[in-house]
Amino acid sequence: MELGWLDITIFIGFMAFVVVVSLWAGRKERSSEDYFLAGRGLSWWLIGFSLIASNISTEHFVGMAGAAFTEVGLAIASYEWIAAITLVVVALWLLPKFLKAGIYTMPQFLEYRYDNTTRTTMSIYLLVLTIIAVLVTVLYSGARGLDGVFGFSEMMVARFNMTPEDADFWATWGGAWVIGIVASIYTIYGGLKAVVWSDLIQGGALLIGGAIVLYLGLRLVGDGNVFTGWTTFVAENKDRLHTMKPADDPDLPWTIMIVGIWIPNFFYWGLNQFITQRTLGAKSLAEAQKGVFLACVFKLIIPFIIVVPGIIAFQEFGAEILKNSGGDMDKAGEIAYPHLIKEIMPPVLRGVMLAALAGAVMSTFNSGINSASTLFTVDVYDKFIKPDSTPRQQVRVGRIATAVIALAACLMAPLPGLFEGVFNYIQEIWGFISPAIVVVFFFGILVPKAPAASGRVALWLGPVIYGVFRVTGWVMSAIGYSHNEQGQVVRAIAEDQVAIVTGVPAQIFGFTQITFLHHMTITLVILCVILGVMTAARPLSEPRKMPVSDLDVTPHPLRYVYGGGIIAATIVLYLLFW
């Protein structure tokens, strides 16, 4: 996509505006509470926009829209719509407990409920996974998305005589460094307050840009008429407009709705420092709840501005995109959304779309490095390295940690390219810790006499159990194992020859190949059984007493009305697209 001087001016102006506003917002951050929790003074509208801007990035425009381009279709929207119901539960049940305790980080809650080892284990998990499952993915998908729109790698091939493979690598890595450096500048300086103000601006641009693409896409389908476009779109894509897939679907079978999909949702929206940090910085519980409910509304809308364009890309340009991807459906999905906007976006709006895409990347990246530095400073530095550190020392360490974490993410940016699909990479990697963390929090809250040791055991065993399920399947597939119609596991020796692996039933191979959401469910059930046995054997003599903060934890008077309305709207959407 060629850029004119107006496009470039809009993009540079937008980036400059974001940086200036963010630096201004974070200019008075002196104490650790100021820097990491915005002085606990965030209003509901800042919280709502920041939650969405932190969550939605180019892994959605590249990954989620890409999944919609494939056979998954609208079913991928379940990650968004189920999140709306999850957020209602978070607002009504979890947030009051967290804000009442006055915690800075989610692992801190586990120290009060279990012990220090449980807190430290979760902190390390979140710190590592935030880098390799959030920051690295955001940089990779952001660079890939921008390259798909503007053809940086094609330019490198033409001007520098690079091979396409080398050009893809350098376009991805170079783009990641540019994104990382720009987003780090104001985050290092201003902390969470700078992050949420940048999220407000970038989140608005993101929603506006996505809505423009949807509008233009429907106009294309309807030969200039949006309403005709929607009617035609629904009529021609009936097989892709279902939220429920068959039970044997390899990606999103309907059976995941029973338990599987709720595990990553409760972990991500209720227990993950990356997301919950802005709710912990609310000025009151009522403000936090209103902010979460605002985010719920956006979660119901987002599939229409991300998933629907992905399906439109298949409908209008599917053959061309597949040809450009060498027939690889997963790779085609990754460039589907960029290809669509390249085809339909008029020149005057290209700068707006570039700003929206870049803002989407930076809003998630700055939230990630801020939450990771908070985990390091509060749960590692202040706990083990310098327990008597002053608030100013903590802010200084937080800034240094932010810079180091950003650097590490930039260095590892090409990593997700080794997996089949960005969105799958994110979900599978989080699966190593999310079942265990969900079990530890929920079991600890619902079973007051669960012993301290149960928290440690669950966090230690969870990644091992899930890892055995997933890694076994990855290894077997990588070295050529599959199974035949006779129920025997086979390994390819040459293109037309196979050797039967005697004594290994195909069911074992099949179990390793089921969706990771089912493996997460099995991991959760096993951990619940283990914790139940430990509690029955050695229960606490009396429940742990949680600390009480001086924050206003009066709930919002209309919380059940708002929450009930959101749940009802979600049910209606599922009934419409069953």
Q: For residue 46, what is the domain's CATH number?
A: 1.20.1730.10
Interatomic CA distance for residues 470 and 426, integer angstroms: 14
- Print the domain residue range for 129: 5-417+551-576
CA angle 14, 19, 23 (to 5 degrees): 150
Residue 471 included in any domain: no
**Is residue 423 in some structural domain?**
no
Contact 76, 252 (CB under 8 A): yes
- pLDDT for 6 equals 81
Ramachandran class of 225: left when φ > 0, alpha when ψ lies in -120 to 50, beta otherwise: beta
The answer to whether the CB of 370 falls within 8 A of the CB of 277 is yes
Asked if residue 499 belongs to a domain, the reply is no
Helices (H) and strands (E) in the chain, counts: 25, 3
Phi, psi of 30 (to 5 degrees): -115, -45
Q: What three-state secondary structure class fits 433? A: coil
Tell me the C-alpha distance between 347 and 331, whole Å.
Answer: 26
Q: What is the pLDDT along the chain (578 residues), one digit of tens a residue?
A: 666 788 778 878 888 888 888 888 877 666 777 777 777 888 998 899 888 887 877 667 777 888 888 878 888 888 899 999 999 999 999 999 999 999 989 999 999 999 999 999 999 999 998 888 888 888 887 787 677 666 778 888 888 888 877 888 888 888 888 888 888 888 888 888 888 888 788 778 878 888 899 999 999 999 989 999 999 999 998 888 888 777 777 667 777 777 778 998 999 899 988 888 889 889 999 999 999 999 999 999 988 888 999 999 999 998 888 887 777 777 787 778 878 888 888 877 777 777 777 777 888 888 889 889 999 999 999 888 998 888 889 989 999 999 999 999 988 887 776 665 565 667 778 889 999 999 999 999 999 999 999 999 999 999 999 988 887 765 666 556 565 554 455 555 554 555 555 455 545 545 556 778 888 999 999 999 999 999 999 999 999 989 999 889 999 999 999 999 999 999 999 998 88
Collapsing DSSP to helix, strand or coil, 41 comes out as coil
The identity of residue 410, as a single letter, is C
Record the pTM: 0.83
Burial 92-129 (b: 16+ CB within 10 A, else e): bebbbebbebbbbbbbbbbbebbbebbbbbbbbbbbeb
Q: Which residues contact 472 (CB under 8 A, 6 or more apart)?
A: 512
Is residue 382 one of the residues assigned to a domain?
Answer: yes
Token representation of residue 224: 């200039």
| Residue 249 CB coordination number (10 Å) | 16
Q: Could you give the number of structural domains in the chain?
A: 1
Q: Assess if residue 427 is contained within a domain.
A: no
537 within a domain of the structure (yes/no): no
289 in any annotated domain? yes
- The reply to whether 305 falls in a domain is yes
Whether residue 69 contacts residue 317, with contact meaning beta carbons closer than 8 Å, is answered with no
| 166-174: long-range pairs with CB below 8 Å, 24+ | 169/414, 171/143, 171/147, 172/140, 172/143, 172/144, 172/147, 172/413, 172/414, 172/417, 173/143, 173/413, 173/414, 174/143
Across the chain, what does the average pLDDT equal? 84
